[in-house]
Amino acid sequence: QVQLVESGGGLVQAGGPLRLSCAASGCTFSRYAMGWFRQTPAKEREFGAAIGWRGAGTYYADSVKGRFTISRENAKNTVYLQMNSLKPEDTAVYYCAAKSHYTGTYYRRTDYDYWGQGTQVTVSS
């Protein structure tokens, strides 16, 4: 059973940084592509960033490109999301997701097989 546990969320001022972590267990982590999504009560869960299983390919939503960086440490079974220059509109619950098979895309919720429980990020203005 694949388990994903996010951490690192919290309250931060606009313009500040925050780093999220997602620890995976119950799987051969290096064989999974990983993604970060976010959701607010008013919106559908939306794609933020993804990284290929080798870490060579990274993909970002336009809304976070240039501010967020996704990375992974396969030896620690962990994927990170470094968020800089945070804005109040980045406030959301952030979810980590694991993708086990080829789908041709990285940005759809249905591309992913496993999800974490989420961690709240709140950016104050």
DSSP string, 15-63: T--EEEEEEEESS-GGG-EEEEEEE-TTS--EEEEEE-TTS--EEE-TT
pLDDT at 10: 97
Q: What pLDDT, on the 0 to 100 scale, is given for residue 14?
A: 98
Cα–Cα distance, 70 to 92 (Å, whole number): 17
Q: Which helix (H) or strand (E) holds 78?
A: strand 78-83
Residue 70 — very low, low, confident or very high, per pLDDT cuts 50/70/90? very high
- Per-residue model confidence (pLDDT) at position 54: 78
pLDDT, residue 55, reads: 72
Q: Considering Cα of 68, then 73, then 74, then 80, what sign does the dihedral take?
A: negative
What confidence score (pLDDT) does residue 100 get? 92
Q: Which two tokens stand for residue 14?
A: 């606009």
Q: Which two tokens stand for residue 24?
A: 């995976």
Share of the chain above pLDDT 70, in %: 100
